[in-house]
Structure 1
């Protein structure tokens, strides 16, 4: 079983104590987001977990806890974008986050720290030329600390559309997308970094850019030395090439409050959920009660 920690929130940034408690306990409980009284018990012991995949914008709080992961295969999907606090209000200064990226790569190896530059969105302020300058600067800083950069372009969701509209943010269009991919691919190649896309339908073979898998069965097999066959995750978007995983996070619990985020869209709910956080609870930002129906999650 592959554990995703998590597409729904930033566990390394805000809930590192919780994930370590869950690893020590050997399991986590996860509410079904569409049926909250349905709770899955997910095994987290090393024998049950093929790989832990961490998604984060700032894993500073995990750096002193990596020793607890010594019996696990794991890697990080680490997002660094060039936006300011008008778009990503809860993040530290990007220069400090880049230093955290380097420290993490030094400790666990650059193959296990994947840089995400996504979503790519544009406005009068964040135009294509802005992205060219920002990406070139980041590539120079991250050269030698990662093998891969994953890119994707803004997807619209009803829950985030008003926030985007207020800042004039939109998805790049045809020629803009191709110009970005062409420029990024050239700069990354010069730095020994390959570019892959995430859940994009367009083909960019002419620029040497392939469709990627964020939950990547091939990478997991390389890291583990095994040759296990993994199935495509049927619950993700059609263009997504990730293999099956079990997510142990909870929606509306991320304090980064990025305005483009589909998983954390209600400030009131985020504040309420964070107020319930208990690192000892088996459910993130929640507690079990008598009305919950707990079932064991199989693989």
Structure 2
């Protein structure tokens, strides 16, 4: 199985101590975000966890733990954009994150790390031209340390509109201009541009539209084939493996204005105040009478076939 950590919050940035405590304990408890009384226990064992997938805007707090994590296969997505603190209030400067990206790439290997430049929105400050210019500068820095960059355009989720009311949809013309330019730039620097759940509109311009956290992505990171059960994707337009996540919504202190995982700042503050690094839950603890359901976990690795 693939263990996901980053669809609901940024564990490496804010909860690295908790995560490593769970690795040492060998299990984690997760509440279903849509049914709080349903609790699942996942074993954190390399025999059944084929790869841990991280998504973060700040990998720095986890760098000191990489040796301890080395018994697990890993795949890292690090988000680095051109936005400033007006949009991403608590994200470190992109120059610092890029240097940490390079450190991480050297430690885990170029096949085990990808760059995300998303979600993309356009306004009078973050124009199409600025996105293209900043993207090329970042490619120049990150070239040789990743072979992939995933892009997506902002979605008008209810949470996004509530926290970022002035944002607008990126027009089809802007999407094509950005996608084509990014693909051309990426080609010069050895970086394939992929889209996340954006359909196939950018395929004619050199963008890979087959998904980002796909079976092939994890096979390249692990170095062997995977027998992935069918219907592991959460969305019909997405071919990624996203079925298991140990995070919790309303817990990310980056407080990015475009975030779909936080409903509001008050909820984030409340949940972070309930966080205990020693708890098996990211937020809160087990209550009397609650039942823990053991997850069905099996390795998907096909030991008969390897890439190397």
TM-score w.r.t. structure 1 length?
0.95
**Contact 2:42 2:295 (C-alpha < 8 Å) held by counterparts:** yes
Q: Which secondary structure state, in structure 2, belongs to the residue aligned with residue 211 of structure 1? A: coil
Counterpart of 1:71 in 2: which secondary structure?
coil
Matches within 5 A, 1:208-227: 208-227=206-225
Within 2, Cα distance between the matches of 1:159 and 1:223? 33
Residue aligning to 1:279 = 277
Q: Pick closer, same or farther for the CA change 1:151–1:231 going to 2, 3 Å.
A: farther
8 Å Cα contact 2:75-2:221 kept in structure 1: no
The answer for the alignment partner of 2:153 in structure 1 is 153
Query: How far apart are the structure 2 equivalents of 1:139 and 1:222?
Result: 21
Q: Contact 2:88–2:254 (CA<8 Å) still a contact in 1?
A: yes
Deviation at 1:244, TM superposition (A): 4.7
| Paired position in structure 2 for 1:100 | 100
What's the RMSD between the two structures over aligned residues?
A: 1.4
Q: Deviation of residue 219 (structure 1)?
A: 2.5
2:237 is matched with 239
Confirm or deny: 8 A CA contact 2:163 2:264 kept in the other structure. Answer: no
| 2:186 is the alignment partner of 1:188 | yes
Query: How far does residue 203 in structure 1 lie from its aligned partner after superposition?
Result: 2.7
Q: Offset at 1:24?
A: 1.1
**Alignment partner, residue 144 of structure 1:** 144
Structure 1 spans left out of the alignment, 5+ residues: none
Whole-Å separation in 2 of the counterparts to 1:152 and 1:135: 14
Query: What TM-score comes out, normalization by structure 2 length?
Result: 0.92
What is the CA deviation profile of residues 175-228 of structure 1, one whole-angstrom value per residue up to 9, with x for unaligned ones? 110010110000010000000100112332222212243332112223333322
Q: Deviations for 1:45-100, whole angstroms, at most 9, x for unmatched residues? A: 11110110001000100000001212111110110011111111111111111111
Structure-1 separation of matches of 2:289 and 2:170: 46
SS in 2 for 1:227: strand
* Equivalent residue number for residue 177 of structure 1: 175
- Long gaps (5+) in structure 2: 298-308
Q: 156-165 vs 249-258, which deviates more? A: 156-165
CA 170–291 in structure 1, closer or farther in 2 if over 3 Å, else same: farther
Tell me, yes or no, if the aligned pair for 1:221 and 1:228 is still in contact at 8 Å.
yes
Q: Give 3-state SS (helix, strand or coil) of 1:75's partner.
A: strand
- Shift in Å at residue 237 of structure 1? 2.3
Asked whether the 8 Å contact 1:203–1:210 carries over to 2, the reply is no
Q: CA deviation at 1:136?
A: 1.1
Q: Retained in 1: the 8 A contact 2:233–2:240? A: no
Mapped contact 2:12–2:61 kept (Cα < 8 A) = yes
Q: Which moved more, 1:247-256 or 1:213-222?
A: 213-222
